[in-house]
Amino acid sequence: MSELQPYDSLIQRGPNIWTLDGEWYKTSFRRRMTVIRIGVDQLVVHSAIQLKPEDYAQIDALGHVRWIVAPNAFHSDEAPVYKARYPDAKLLVPPSVFKKFRKKGVEVDGSLDNLKEFPGGELICKAVDGLKLLEEYVLYHSISKTLILTDLMFNMTSPKSWIERSFFRWNQIDNRFGMSRIFRLMFVRDKTLVLKNLDEIAQWDFDLVIVNHGNIVETSGKKGFIAGYTTLK
Ligand SMILES: [Fe+2]
């Protein structure tokens, strides 16, 4: 069940794209929701963070919520809150979450494996094939040249304690934009296939990279992204 946790204000990151950062059980990881406007006034909410009722006006001021995307199996709990608030929006989730939600009676509209791009073509959705357990789907917004990742790569900087720093170092995320050791060890099923998918993503024209945990990569995001998965090779 989802739980309301403290969060910051919505910030514009580029043309038709906004983010909202929130706490995640008081850890340094925190988390991030992204809102993308496509067409004239249709909104896509990626990695939903539950808000206080009065704060949804921030989102409503940008357009109409039409899609709610739960981008991987670990970032799907709060998406149904948005579906309840915006019943006309389509809630799209990874295949395993689709099965789980259906079994639990949670209203859900479709599986992300059936989605390639949103109407208009300015927002693309791509599965990272070759993973297990996690089922990560990345978004690419061509208007703002932004790549939106969830747990595929982190960009952490400042751990709150020496225990966290030790863990960050072991996990290869201490002051580094890139794939964590845990991701490599636990979620990669077919290394060759994952690398093929990441090489395909690296062909896209992006500069900004929005990660779910850590700082947004403001510049040279593509160079950083390519460097970020060398540990998998
Ligand atoms: Fe995560």
Residue at 5 is within a domain:
no
Contact 192, 179 (CB under 8 A): no
Q: Is residue 153 part of a domain?
A: yes
Give the pLDDT confidence of 159-171 residue by residue, as tens digits. 878 999 999 999 9
Given a cut of 80, whether residue 2 has pLDDT beyond it is no
Whole-number Å distance, alpha carbon 127 to ligand 1 midpoint, is 16
Cα of 24 vs centre of ligand 1, distance in Å, is 9
Count structural domains, the chain: 1
CA of 78 to the centre of ligand 1 (A): 13
Contact 35, 62 (CB under 8 A): yes
- The pLDDT score that the predictor gives to residue 159 is 83
Statement: residue 139 has pLDDT above 80? yes
CA 40 to ligand 1 center in whole angstroms: 31
Q: Ligand 1 mean position to 151 CA, how many Å?
A: 5
Ligand 1 centroid – CA 211 distance (Å): 9
pLDDT over threshold 80, residue 136: yes
Question: Coil, helix or strand for 1?
Answer: coil
Residue 150 lies in a domain: yes
What does the alpha-carbon distance between residue 37 and residue 65 come to, in Å, rounded to a whole number? 9
Q: What is the DSSP string of 119-173?
A: TTSSEEEEE-TTB-SS--EEEEETTTTEEE-SSS-EEE---SSHHHHHHHHHTT-
pLDDT, tens only, 113-127: 988 889 999 999 999
CATH number at residue 116: 3.60.15.10
102 occurs within a structural domain: yes
In a domain, 187, yes or no: yes
Per-residue model confidence as pLDDT tens digits over 14-59: 999 999 999 999 888 999 999 999 999 999 999 999 999 999 999 9
> pLDDT per residue over 147-197, tens digit each?
999 999 999 997 878 999 999 999 999 999 999 999 999 999 999 999 999
- The answer on pLDDT for 1 being more than 60 is no
Domain span including residue 187: 11-232
Q: What percent of the chain has pLDDT over 70?
A: 99
**pTM for the predicted model, two decimal places:** 0.96
Q: How far is the CA of 74 from the centre of ligand 1 (A)?
A: 6
Instruction: Give residue 192 CA to ligand 1 midpoint distance, Å.
Output: 23
